[in-house]
Structure 1
């Protein structure tokens, strides 16, 4: 799906003063601490989970999120059956009627390709997703660095704890350069649309917090910050949370009731909440349920866990 650029530019021009003002404070955090609870969202992935027996529509997930008592919904792009302008507005309306914010948009792309043509395809995909988020009123999208792609499949990648061989003849430094250059090409669209990119610790080059922060610092734009996924650090998780927390504009919180799909992590959400309060994180906590238990019972338990921790 591609919105007409002429329409976007017209809208951006009409709001130029507010856009310029927001650019300087896009990721500014309050200077004083507050005791206000974090709002809790749920990713539509929590219902869908790539399982054949739970391929629910986005609209159905929004209805279930409202019934469960969430404050917002994060949309998984690959779950969408229709990305036409009319379909995007129906999703926006469905959330509005249910009293929910559309607070996040989770896309998949990779910039770890030696070929400029493949990188450009992923840059354009990212820009398209930025424009979809804009159309739905979503303020942030999850982006990834990408990975080498040398694993046989995702199950193999997970069995190797997210580590895979580099492409022959290339180094991590090559990959960092590709990622930084690609993200920089996405930033004009992000700024024009008022959509903050949140670089996630999502395997590949971005497997570790230091690597994610390195990329964010190298680009140094208020329109590129971090999406912190609590379930994607397999070593020294709390230390890595602390590294990413100051950059976080969105937090994805994993739970594993019934045992994880690929692995199960013990996550102390009271401890996570303390880390985030330490940097005065005011944003959403978005549930990503990744267990084997039925969502009908696991998601309410997950919501209760997060409500208590982030109260």
Structure 2
């Protein structure tokens, strides 16, 4: 396995100007990481998160390429939002296909795309069932394009709608493409109140990419700054190894599965950004070493 970080972990420092694109690669190299996964919104200028398009930003694309070459830290994957059930469905599918092409240009072999807005909640089964075949058709079209270019597209257990191990596996089975798999986030199952350990064990065989993270979990709201899950728990990001998730068991499940690809730490806690990134990466590597004996 190759451990690295998602650029999303550094978003606060990108926003305040403390870090630039080049600094992400340098920091990872200097702190023992092996790759950078790019969440496209994380390098967006302040206030442009929802409108930023890396595919139109040639300067940033070239800076990414140059920084990767100079540091020897590969750009492992690109993550984008997408909405395949909205009024602009056709444009969203074509956009995702252009990101597949960008991956190929940058010699990046993994693209994670959403299928609905992150915040959308399926309030009943009928709503999900109505959307499902529309999502399947869109994902299959993107996956077919990805297959032609040697890129693997994936869906993440992300948000509140297309989440849970069963929903994701159902989508993978329906699309039925060797180039459409899962970006498995060990913590995001909590958003729909699925046990992270059993969700990981149920899904790891389908993973093309893995995200690791940790959360504090509370049954009642502790106050502002906590995310409410689908069924009324409350979670907040923590340094990997500091929270309430069974992180060693989660890593063991990934290791025991035989998965040997990219693993990205996503840090989204309230502790200082670089402390969270450095400590979380060190904890992950230490736990993996212990598991390997």
TM-score range, shorter chain: 0.7 to 0.9
Asked if 1:105 is matched to 2:78, the reply is: yes
Deviation at 1:164, TM superposition (A): 4.8
The structure with higher relative contact order (CA 8 Å, sep 6+) is: 1
Closer/same/farther in 2, CA of residues 216 and 249 from structure 1, 3 Å limit: same
* 1:188-235 deviations in Å (ceiling 9; x for gaps): 320122110121001243121100000101111110010001221113
Q: Aligned runs of 1:245-256 on 2, under 5 Å?
A: 245-255=204-214
The answer for the alignment partner of 2:49 in structure 1 is: none
The answer for the alignment partner of 1:182 in structure 2 is: 138
Asked if 1:230 is matched to 2:189, the reply is: no
Could you say what the CA RMSD is over the residues aligned between the two structures, in angstroms? 2.6
Deviation at 1:53, TM superposition (A): 3.6
Deviation at 1:58, TM superposition (A): 2.4
Could you tell me which of 77, 91, 94 is aligned with 2:40?
Answer: 77
Q: How many residues align?
A: 256
TM-score scaled by structure 2?
A: 0.79
Deviation at 1:184, TM superposition (A): 1.1
Deviation at 1:51, TM superposition (A): 8.0
Asked if 1:289 is matched to 2:263, the reply is: no
Shifted more, 56-65 versus 244-253: the winner is 56-65
Q: Which SS does the other structure have where 2:155 is aligned?
A: strand
Q: Aligned runs of 1:289-308 on 2, under 5 Å?
A: 289-308=267-286
* 1:4-38 deviations in Å (ceiling 9; x for gaps): xxxxxxxxxxxxxxxxxxxxxxxxxxxxxxxxxx2
**Whole-Å separation in 1 of the counterparts to 2:25 and 2:94:** 28
Greater than 6 Å deviation, 4+ residue runs: none
Deviation at 1:80, TM superposition (A): 3.6
Closer/same/farther in 2, CA of residues 231 and 218 from structure 1, 3 Å limit: same
TM-score scaled by structure 1?
A: 0.75
Preserved contact between residue 112 and residue 183 of structure 2 (Cα < 8 Å): yes
* 1:89-110 deviations in Å (ceiling 9; x for gaps): 3312211211211111111112
* 1:96-139 deviations in Å (ceiling 9; x for gaps): 211211111111112133x4xx2112101211111111111111
Asked if 1:268 is matched to 2:246, the reply is: yes
In the alignment, structure 1 segments of 5+ residues that lack a partner are 1-37, 158-162
Closer/same/farther in 2, CA of residues 80 and 129 from structure 1, 3 Å limit: farther
**Whole-Å separation in 2 of the counterparts to 1:304 and 1:273:** 14
The answer for the alignment partner of 1:59 in structure 2 is: 22
In the alignment, structure 2 segments of 5+ residues that lack a partner are 45-53, 217-221, 228-234, 237-242
The answer for the alignment partner of 1:209 in structure 2 is: 165
